[in-house]
Amino acid sequence: MNLDEVMNFGKTIIGGADGPTSVFLAGSLGTTAAAAVIVIGLFICFLGLKLSKILVLITGFLIGAAAGFAVSSAAGANGITSVVIIFVCAVLLAAMTVYLYKPGVFLFVFTAVLVTLASFFGISGVLSFSIASGGDIIVKCIVLGAALILAVLAVIYVEPVVVIATAVSGGMAAGPMILTAAGFYGQTWMGYLAGAVLAVLGMLTQFMMHSRKVGKKEKIYADEIKGKDSVESEVEKARTVLEEDEEEE
């Protein structure tokens, strides 16, 4: 999504307003949306692993809401009943992703990779990936396969895969938008290049922060082991002294 698409989205939301008012409102909404995409993308790119639980929770909520919408539509529900079904499904799946962290990571990585690759290849309708939906079937299968493989790997190697997925998805969201906001219109390759640079920087930053965290944990564990050894040593010395005293008596 570039700035022009965000502006069009703003005009769609504004609806029937005409004249300077509609232009002003659409422009304000488009600018706000672009700024939000940039900020959120940068946070995900550079702090994805630290925010992983929040991102998993949000992903679960959104997927649950989509599932609830499908259920309510299939059941023919409308009005407040439909809203309740959607909300309950969203909350239930969000709660499940919190208590079952690895399945939640699977859903998050799968969704993040799917959306990022779909945007890169210009595939619209991410939720309508089907053989019958037309378009390039091979590309769609590759995108789905890559998202599925990385999601499975995320369950096995949580931290490194989450770092890679968040850095790439966040970078590819923020990079093109930053260049477009800076006035580089129509330079698609430059947007992808900016996204790739941000992705690399995000990976380096997150891996550095993670290695420091692991180093601190290892230091704390080593100090605990030393403390236990020291206590055991003192106890052993005290027992030896008591045994010597008993032998002297």
Measured CA angle at 1 (ends 140, 113), to 5 deg? 40
Contact 165, 149 (CB under 8 A): no
The tens digit of pLDDT for each residue in 108-160 reads 999 999 999 988 887 765 555 554 445 578 888 888 999 999 999 999 999 99
pLDDT for 32 equals 81
Place of tokens 């232009």: 23
Q: Are 33 and 10 in contact (CB under 8 A)?
A: yes
Residue spans of the domains in the chain: they are: 3-47+100-248
Cβ atoms of 94 and 57 closer than 8 Å: yes
Torsion angle in degrees (nearest 10) through CA of 128, 130, 136, 142: 100
Per-residue pLDDT at 17 exceeds 80? no
pLDDT reading at 21 higher than 80 = no
Residue that is written with structure tokens 């698609």 in the block: 188
Size of the chain, expressed as the number of residues it contains? 249
Q: What whole-number distance in Å separates Cα of residue 116 and Cα of residue 170?
A: 9
Mean pLDDT throughout 24-29?
43
Q: What is the pLDDT of residue 24?
A: 37
Give 40's contacts (C-beta < 8 A, 6+ positions apart).
170, 173, 174
Dump pLDDT digits (tens) for 75-106: 888 889 999 999 999 999 999 998 899 999 99
Give the Cα-Cα-Cα angle 109, 113, 118 (nearest 5 degrees): 150
Burial class (CB in 10 A: 0-12, 13-18, 19+), 95: middle
- Alpha helices (H) in the chain, listed in sequence order: 3-14, 19-47, 52-75, 80-99, 101-120, 137-156, 158-181, 188-248
Task: Give the confidence band of 4 by pLDDT, cuts at 50, 70, 90.
Answer: low
Question: What local confidence, expressed as pLDDT, does residue 243 receive?
Answer: 62
Burial of 184 (0-12, 13-18, 19+ CB in 10 A): middle
Q: Model pTM?
A: 0.72
Q: What is the pLDDT of residue 234?
A: 60
pLDDT tens-digit map of 186-242: 677 888 899 999 999 999 999 999 888 776 766 666 556 665 656 556 656 666 666
From 166, 173, 167, 111, select the one nearest 144 (Cα to Cα): 111
